[in-house]
Amino acid sequence: MSGWPRYRAVADHALLVSFGTEIGDEMSAQVLALDAGLAQFTPAGVIEWVPALVNLLVDFDPEATDHRTVQGEIERMLANPVRTDQQGQERIIEICYDAAFAPDLEAVADAAGMTTEEVIRTHRDAAFRVRMYGFAPGYAYMSGVPEAIRVPRKSAALRDVPAGSVIIAGPQCLVTTLTMPTGWSIIGRSPTPILRSDAEDPFLFDVGDHVRFARIDRDTYEARMAERGDG
């Protein structure tokens, strides 16, 4: 893509590398390739890096290196990218669309000019892909919300949204892992554990995983939560 990637200095200790503006497979592949390159050939002075949807932030020690040097190293990496396995695994996430768990489902239906069952079917039949982690532990941002049910963020956030809530905003979907506020639309709740007790592999998803939602009824949801000891 002409004019990309673009580099922007962030304070005196970081460089933001952007590959474009549209969330999708092409952008994600470039971000992940740079992520893999930095892991394999970490430039001197680089402390850490954080991949996101269309860009990657490289943090470095300003006493050991500088923006221009880091950019030069990255440009060399991009000219000879590291091969990565980006196929990802398929994950099935259970979801209950019961009204008690989906306070915004009707509003999404009204905005889309659909019935709530049509919204449910559209969401359930969609194919999602994990693009990044951020904001809170286990918050895996997924692309793939069908155009027909895309709604913007709300003007104000709602407090105390329960963990396991399935929320959407624009083209993105997320399963919350903690009780936190959100300005996204809540369309269901999942009993599928995203956070795990394995310190070496604490999250269910890896970036690049494919995700599909499987509908369950309220009784099944409550049974799953009881099995987890949360019921």
pLDDT band at 115 (very low <50, low <70, confident <90, very high): very high
Judged against a pLDDT cut of 60, whether residue 1 lies above it is answered with no
Angstrom distance (rounded) from CA 41 to CA 37: 6
Angstrom distance (rounded) from CA 100 to CA 156: 21
- Mean pLDDT score, 14-21: 95
Phi, psi of 37 (to 5 degrees): -65, -40
pLDDT for residue 208 = 85
Per-residue pLDDT tens over the stretch 55-94: 999 999 999 999 999 999 999 999 988 776 667 899 999 9
Judged against a pLDDT cut of 80, whether residue 219 lies above it is answered with yes
* 127 and 47 in a common domain: no
Judged against a pLDDT cut of 90, whether residue 14 lies above it is answered with yes
pLDDT for residue 24 = 81
Q: Residue 1 falls within a domain, yes or no?
A: no
* DSSP secondary structure code for residue 58 in this structure: E
Nearest to 77, CA basis, from 35, 129, 131, 123 = 35
- Mean pLDDT score, 166-192: 97
pLDDT for residue 231 = 57
Q: Residue 85 falls within a domain, yes or no?
A: no
Cβ distance 196 to 228 under 8 Å?
Answer: no
pLDDT for residue 229 = 81
- Mean pLDDT score, 128-132: 92
Specify the pairing of strand 14-18 against strand 185-189: unpaired
* 120 and 39 in a common domain: no
User: How is 176-196 classified by DSSP, letter by letter?
Assistant: --SSEEE-SEEEEE--S--B-
- Mean pLDDT score, 3-18: 96
Asked which of 79, 103, 119 is the last residue of a domain, the reply is 79
> Based on the structure, what is the number of domains in the chain?
2
- Mean pLDDT score, 95-99: 98
User: How is 107-161 classified by DSSP, letter by letter?
Assistant: HHHHHHTS-HHHHHHHHHH--EEEEEE-SSTT-EEEE---GGG--PPPSSPEEEE
pLDDT band at 198 (very low <50, low <70, confident <90, very high): confident
* 214 and 164 in a common domain: yes
pLDDT for residue 23 = 83
Work out the percent of the chain whose per-residue pLDDT is above 90: 76
CATH, residue 64:
3.30.1360.40
For residue 166, the enclosing domain spans 90-228
pLDDT for residue 114 = 98
* 184 and 110 in a common domain: yes
pLDDT band at 53 (very low <50, low <70, confident <90, very high): confident
